[in-house]
Each structure stands twice: as structure tokens, then as C-alpha cells.
Structure 1
Amino acid sequence: MAEASNEPYRPLTVDVDRWAHGASAEISSQLFEILDIVDGNGTLRRALTDPSRSAEDRARLVHTLLDGKAHEVAVDIVANLASQRSATERQLGDRIERTAVLLAAAAAENRGGVEALESLVDELLGFKSMLDRSADVQWAFSDPRASAQAKVTLARRLMTAQSEEARLLVERAVSEPRGALPGRLLEQFAQWVADRQQRGIARVQTARPLREDQVAKLRDGLNRLYGRDLKLTTETNPALVGGLRVRVGEEIIDGSVTHRLDQLQQRIGA
């Protein structure tokens, strides 16, 4: 027990490439189902993250509960994660979620290579853009009175996604966002897929819509700045007054008039 209790905390990691060759949307879906079980059962969640239990014991518990009830790859992934010591109970669920998305990305890659990954990012961001344009649709997906199945049914009516992986991830984001806004979660899913593609997403807000030539120049400039090919998403935010705001990962480049006014107010103590 003493050895287990001294086990260090580290960020939970999983080598998706270990299972990527056999990845499928079905396995990804089963990982999401296991996530729902973990999220919904506090006793199980505590058992799987209990530092007083050995890594082998935590992994064995996963196999005892899930062997024969889920695809062996899904079970192996969760057992692998449970064998690592979580800093929090939430961390285990977050990592299962991320791995489910990455496995869906691997399934798309198996089917169509890098182009399929690119299409998957486009489909996820396309649905997010549709959400951003309609307050009514956003409300429908955030309405606590609506069931998860009702939200999935609505998503199927609205989405234009063609791939099985995109449909799975969109339906997941709107039905079980785990406390996040569906649009924000879709953006996160898209970033994880882009990470597998070794690309980043630059989120651009402007006071007025950009012309196509302006978008192209901005993309070229950002690609040079970051030394890699970035995927751009643009949205209009009149509150900026003028200029633009760019976010790449956790870094924000703010060239908006609003930001400069705020800085001026801080300098003069207004």
C-alpha cells in the first residue's frame, strides 16, 4: 500500500498509435459509453482513481467490469488510463473523452488519410459555425428540459456532415457536453483532431466580416509567424469596434480597438 500511495501524479497519457490501426467509430462510441458510466458512478470513479490501490488493481477492476461487454480495445485503453494515477477524478473522464475523439480521428485517417482528417475538422467546425449563427439553435441544445436523444435527433436534422466520425462527435457534443457549451466542445474536438494532423486552429474575431483575400493574407501571415499550416476559423464580433483578435491555443494576439481602449483606460486610471 505504501508503494501505491507514493505513486507520483503525472498527466494521464495514452499512445493512441498503439491502437490506431484498428480504430473505428464504433470503438470510439464505446469509449464515450464507458465515460458516461464513469461520470455517472461516483463509487466506481473513486475506485479507479484511488491512490491507495495499486496500478495493477485499478486496471484489473476495469477488466473485471468490462471484459466481454465492450470492445477489447476500448477496455484496454480505459484500463491503461486507470493504471495511471489521476490528480483528480475529473481528469480520468477528461482523458477518456480526449482519447475517444483521437480514436475517431484515427478511424477517419485509416479510411482516407490526411484528407479525411482535414474533412473531419471542417465538418466539426462547420456545425459549430451553424450554432454560432443561431441563438435559437444554441438554446435548443442547452435547454435542460430536452433529453439527450431529442438533442441528437435535432443535430441529425441540422448537420450536413457526411462522415461517420463527424456524426458521432457532433452528436456527442450536443447530447453529453459534460458541462461545456456544445459549440466550445466541438471546437475542442476539432483541435484534438488537428493535433493528430499536427496542425493548429487559429480562431479569428473581427469587427466586420473579412473578404476572401484578407483571410488568405491573414492565413499566410499566421502560418509564417507560427511556422506551421494553421486552420482558420473566423467570426464577427461587433463589440471589438475595429481590428481583430486571434487565438492560437492558449496564445491571444489582440489588435482590436476595444483592447487598445481598455489599455488606455488602465494607463489613465479611468
Structure 2
Amino acid sequence: MAEASNEPYRTLTVNVDRWAGAASTGITKQLFEILDIVDANGPLRRALTDPSRSADDRARLVHTLFDGRANDVAVDIVAELASQRSATERQLGDGIERTAVQLAAAAAENRGGVDALEALVDELIGFKSMLERSAELQRAFSDSRASAEAKVTLARRLMAPGSEEAALLVERAVSEPRGSLPGRLLEHFAQWVADRQHRWIARVQTARPLREDQLAKLRDALNRLYGRDLKLTTETSPSLVGGLRVQVGEEIIDGSVTHRLDQLQQRIAA
């Protein structure tokens, strides 16, 4: 059955944590390879984004085409993205690209936790900065006459020794920028990796400074809650009146008096 025509469009995303434990650069490469197939095949893009086809039908098409040809994780991710309603054909490719980068970030995280994520961001930004300093390199990587293989070879010569994840993402940005400038795409890649890095940082706001023993108890409680060794940053904000506010990634735990007063006012006004 076709989906309802009034179903809202949204950014195509998946919960990468579902596959994070199995994340690797190999699976990331396969996601990029599937992306290349989708980008190069107009009829396939239209079939995978056709709103007259049901979500299950679009997901089945992905499995029909790629089961046995790519890692199960890569196929499952693309099937889930295809099952969501796309505003444009380009949106599906963008979703695959972003998820591939997030999976590379998860692979780095598996290897070295938050320090590996921080290093990956630095490597991507470092290569971007090198490009911005050299008009000659910008011309070389934007030259439509140069092959993707030649651009990858040049990138490898320029890259300092670093992580496998950084090498993969830099090579991807210079060889298949999908209409963007390599430097700009690397900036996007770095931001997506940083988004995952922020999951390791707990930003704590309190009405009054916490004592060391209070900070230690809070850190232990948050580490147990999130299952990882979080880095705490603290900020004193008298406007909270009392209590505290904690943000880990996009999740917010708000136990401040101000927040409770706001909730009370909303209930009274309702």
C-alpha cells in the first residue's frame, strides 16, 4: 500500500548506535560504494524514493539488490533510510553519506573512545586547513580532468600518518565530493564526527559551584547511566535558582528550580 500523501518529509537519519558495536572502516567503505551506485543510477534513485511505493517495498528493493553483495549492516542501514519518505532523490544519498561518516566515527570510538574521536576531528580539519592554504591544491582536487584515483594518490602523499578512519574520509572527500568542494565536505565530515564526540561530554550547569565530592558523585552517577567515562564541564548559572542541568550530546536532564517553575507556569496557563 502506498504511503499517505500528507506524510511529512524529514531528514533521513538512523540510530547509528544500533550498529555501532560492529562499526568498521570496511562497512563504511561499503556504504560509500552503495551510495555511488545510487548516485549513478537514476531509475534506482527514483524507485527508492517513489512515494507511491510503500516503505516496506522500498526496503525490500534494497535487500533484493544488495543482500549477499554487501555487509548485512550496510544493507540494513540503506534499507532503513530508503524506507523513510524522501523530499528529493538527493536526500537519500545525503542520508547514506552522513550515516557512513557516523559509522566511521563509531569505528574510531570503538578503537579509542573520545580521544580517538577528538583525533579524527583534528585530522579532518587539519587536511581541510592545508587545502585552504594552497590554491594549487584546490585546483588539483577540483580538476574534472583528473581521475578519482589520481586525487586519492595525491591525498595519500599529503596526509600525515594517522588513523584509518581519517584516511578513508579524506580520500572520499577528494575523490567523490558529490558536487561540493572537498574542503567544505571535510568540514561537514568533521562536524558529524564531533556530534558523536559530544556524547562523551557532560555539560553541567548549577546555580552554585559544586564541591569536589559532589562532582565525583555526579560523575559516577552519569557514568553508570550512560555506560561510559564521561568528561564533565561545569558552569555556574545563578539564573537556575537551584538544582542542576546536565546535557550529554542532545539529551538534557533538567532538575533546576527554574525548569520546574516554567513547567508549573505552563500547567497553570493551559
Same fold (TM over 0.5): yes
Kindly provide the amino acid, as one letter, of the partner of residue 139 in structure 2.
Answer: W
Partner of 2:119: 119
Change (3 A) 1:14 1:161: farther
CA deviation map 1:195-225 (0-9, x unaligned): 11128xxxxxxxxxxxxxxxxxxxxxxx98x
Alpha-carbon contact 1:7-1:51 (below 8 Å) kept: no
Matched, 1:164 2:158: no
Three-state SS of the structure 2 residue aligned to 1:198 is helix
Question: Would the aligned equivalents of 2:3 and 2:51 in 1 still touch at CA under 8 Å?
Answer: no
C-alpha displacement at 1:133, in angstroms?
1.0
Letter in 1 for 2:81: L
Asked if the contact 2:38–2:44 (Cα under 8 Å) also holds between the matched residues in 1, the reply is: yes
1:54-104 Cα distance to aligned partner (Å, 9 max, x none) = 000000000000000000000000000000111111000001000000000
TM-score by length of 1: 0.72
1:54-69 → structure 2 map (5 Å cutoff):
54-69=54-69
Q: Aligned letter for 2:151?
A: K
Give the aligned partner of residue 260 of structure 1.
none
Residue 50 (structure 1) aligns with: 50
Give the gaps of 5 or more residues in structure 1: 200-222, 229-270
CA distance in 2, matches of 1:5, 1:35: 26
User: What displacement does 1:12 show?
Assistant: 1.4
* In 2, Cα distance between equivalents of 1:167 and 1:10: 31
2: CA distance, partners of 1:3 / 1:16: 25
Contact 1:35–1:96 (Cα < 8 Å) also in 2: yes
Residue of structure 1 equivalent to 2:88: 88
AA aligned opposite 1:81 = L
Shift of 1:162: 1.1
Q: Which residue of 2 aligns with 1:207?
A: none
| CA-based RMSD | 1.9
**Aligned amino acid, residue 73 of structure 2:** V
The DSSP-based 3-state class of the residue aligned with 1:21 is helix
How many correspondences in the alignment? 204
Normalising by structure 2, report the TM-score: 0.72
SS at match of 2:187: helix
2:100, 2:180 → 1: CA distance? 17
Structure (1 or 2) with the larger CA radius of gyration? 2
Structure 1 residue 36 corresponds to structure 2 residue 59? no
Aligned residue in 1 for 2:98: 98
Match runs of 1:20-31 below 5 Å = 20-31=20-31
